Amino acid sequence: MADNIRVRFAPSPTGPLHIGGVRTALYNYLFARQNGGKMILRIEDTDQTRFVPGAEQYIIEALTWLGIEFDEGVHVGGPFGPYRQSDRKEMYRQYSDQLIENGWAYYAFDTPEELDIIRKQYEAEKKAFQYDASTRDKMKNSLTLPTEEVKNLLESGAAFVVRFKMPENEEIHVQDLIRGDVKVNSGLLDDKVLFKSDGMPTYHLANIVDDHLMDISHVIRGEEWLPSAPLHVMLYKAFGWEDTMPMFAHLPLLLKPDGNGKLSKRDGDRLGFPVFPLRWTDPVSGEVSSGYRESGYFPEAVVNILAFLGWNPGTEQEIFSMQQLIDAFSIERISKSGAKFDLEKAKWFNHQYLIHRDDTELAQLFQNVVAEKCVNADFERVKEVCPLVKERASFVNDLWDQAKFFFVAPESYDEQIIKKRWKEDTPTHLNRISEIIASTQPFSKDQAHDRVMEYIQQNSLNTGQIMNCLRLSLVGAAMGPDLFAIIGILGIEETQNRIRKAVDTIKI
RNA sequence: GGCCCGUUCGUCUAGCUGGCCUAGGACAUCAGAUUUUCAUUCUGGAGAUCAGGGGUUCGAAUCCCCUACGGGCUACCA
């Protein structure tokens, strides 16, 4: 590996960052940290028409939430700034000029409308128009127009773009860290616009110039960029920057869980899982898209899930902290094929983080949920309850469904259980058991357990029947942790109240 | 259409320098055990003839070729 590892995550602020982008950021981050390199956030906002207010802030907030930190970037500054391409606007022109001077690029005056017409004509003949070596001498550009006219056009302020002059027949090699040697003939590529008529560079120019200026050593990005990688290689060559050209790694895409195609912003809520790290409200339509954070995922779990979508350590360990990922990560072990998001496995990951979370911390999180659901709950009780029910939950919110009865007495009783277990003499026994529990000295769940079991045996009762009815009285359903653990937490008074209420309410 | 990338259980994948693969793990799923309940836990099962076909080789999921399928790109979007 090179001495100075510098990687960048370079999103466009065209909306919320989706999890594919988050994964790209994560892989960049892991690679940088593992190699003691720098992680840079660069905002690529060269398309003014697609700019979405709030998107940049969203990206920063999302990555911060996930623990993906930057050494340099639009929000933290750094020696290679500015880090927002719109703020770098003035410096791109000189690079496109340089290419024109060297004969690697030229001015083109064809208007979008003219190009549109030509494309339609080609289409009518079932051909595809490509602005390249075979067509550029028929177009309106500085290669075909007289020098004087070009000069006049430029001076008169006519709209123009700068196009790359793609060689007619040259074998281009892209060395990809994941895919190996990818080669393509330049004759198949077109004369991409480098500099737009609005004075902004296109992605291709800005990207190469900035990566060079920012001393980027490795470009780790999505596979959708692989087709334009040959152009980028050519640009490095045209600028004479081949020696410092970064290494490329094109990541496999994240696919739709159902059917085919790459995961898109629309898929998430359609399939019941978030595609965004944070909830997003579209500033124009007002449409709300759910986020992992708001859905109850732990950031550590999201990182773990994403890390394993397209990468694995080659061992059987699946739960990795960020630091462990940094230590274990390697570009060589990134898979080549796209991965589908699996909601069930994602839940399992979150479950793992939930059950291994420190009990006090978990209790604090759950305390907030309890506070929303009912009146003031004692923190000590919340803390006692958590370890009893956490095995049953994937999310903190699930804890409520599992532990609700610790905080609120049952309002109704499961009819099925009543039908199956509740007998005529049940009230009598429950009243006796209520007294027994109340008289247990000293009171403890174990004592209560022993005394109740003693009663059941002495009266030759059916354990299952009595216990289920007792559970029904306290919980309202056939669920929950160990009955006496419940009684221990509810305490004598509440236990008695609930038994009394059940006996009064349940009729057969 | 053209170009590029890919293809192992339903899903994520191990396997990459060919023999230890009658293809391993995880999630999901099924069954049994445990339990006073639900869940957990434990044990076990089913599940990919490695996309298909040709080669190379004593031997291929692993190397080569072809085909099929999937995906990406093909804008003055990134």
Question: Is A507 labeled as catalytic in the residue annotation?
Answer: no
Q: In the complex, which nucleotide's C1' lies nearest to the CA atom of residue A44?
A: B78
Q: Name the DSSP letter for residue A287.
A: -
pLDDT at A259: 64
Per-residue tokens: A285: 């339509």
pLDDT digits 0-9 by tens, A317-356: 999 999 999 999 999 999 999 999 999 999 999 999 999 9
**What's the CA A339/C1' B11 distance, rounded, in angstroms?**
9
d(CA A264, CA A283): 19
Q: Which amino acid is at A451?
A: R
What's the complex ipTM?
0.95
**What's the CA A126/C1' B1 distance, rounded, in angstroms?**
8
**What's the CA A349/C1' B49 distance, rounded, in angstroms?**
33
Per-residue tokens: A234: 């050519």
Estimate to the nearest angstrom the gap between the alpha carbon of A402 and the chain centroid: 28
Q: Name the DSSP letter for residue A199.
A: S
Mean per-residue pLDDT for A149-154? 95
CB proximity A420–strand B (7 Å threshold): no
pLDDT at A3: 65
CB proximity A103–strand B (7 Å threshold): no
Residues 258-287, chain A: which have Cβ under 7 A from strand B? Answer: 259-262
Q: In the complex, which nucleotide's C1' lies nearest to the CA atom of residue A347?
A: B27
Residue A121, classified by CB atoms within 10 Å of its CB into exposed (0-12), middle (13-18) or buried (19+), is: exposed
E-state strands within A233-343: 247-251, 254-255, 280-281, 288-289, 339-340
A161-164/A193-195 β-pairing: antiparallel
Helix (H) or strand (E) holding A26: helix A19-34
**What's the CA A226/C1' B41 distance, rounded, in angstroms?**
47
pLDDT at A56: 97
d(CA A374, CA A372): 6
pLDDT of A1 over the 60 cut: no
| DSSP count for chain A of H helices, then E strands | 19, 14
CB proximity A161–strand B (7 Å threshold): yes
pLDDT digits 0-9 by tens, A50-71: 999 999 999 999 999 999 999 9
pLDDT digits 0-9 by tens, A173-198: 999 999 999 999 999 999 999 999 99
Of all residues in chain A, the percent with pLDDT exceeding 90 is: 81
Per the residue annotation, which of A237, A265, A383, A501 is the catalytic one? A265
Q: Closest Cα to residue A23, out of A279, A198, A220?
A: A220
Q: What is the mean pLDDT of chain A?
A: 93
pLDDT digits 0-9 by tens, A104-115: 999 999 999 999
Q: How many CA atoms lie within 13 A of A426 on its CB side?
A: 28
The residue whose CA lies nearest the C1' of nucleotide B16 is A333
Those nucleotides of strand B lying less than 7 Å from any protein Cβ are 1-8, 10-16, 25-28, 36-41, 70-78
Q: Closest Cα to residue A289, out of A300, A273, A309, A302?
A: A273
pLDDT digits 0-9 by tens, A231-275: 999 999 999 999 999 999 999 999 988 766 788 877 777 777 899
d(CA A405, CA A474): 8
CA A456, A462, A465, A471 dihedral sign is positive
CB proximity A359–strand B (7 Å threshold): no
CB proximity A349–strand B (7 Å threshold): no
Contact present, A368 and A399 (Cβ < 8 Å): no
Contact present, A288 and A280 (Cβ < 8 Å): yes
Residues 463-502, chain A: which have Cβ under 7 A from strand B? Answer: 463-464, 467-468, 470-471, 478-484
pLDDT at A200: 96
Order of all β-strands in the sheet with A105-108: A105-108, A161-164, A193-195
Residues 203-262, chain A: which have Cβ under 7 A from strand B? Answer: 203-204, 223-228, 252-253, 255, 259-262
Tally Cβ neighbours within 10 Å of residue A266.
Answer: 11
Phi, psi of A324 (to 5 degrees): -65, -35
**What's the CA A179/C1' B51 distance, rounded, in angstroms?**
20
Q: In the complex, which nucleotide's C1' lies nearest to the CA atom of residue A160?
A: B76
pTM of the model: 0.94
pLDDT digits 0-9 by tens, A366-422: 999 999 887 678 899 999 999 999 999 999 999 999 999 999 999 899 988 888 888
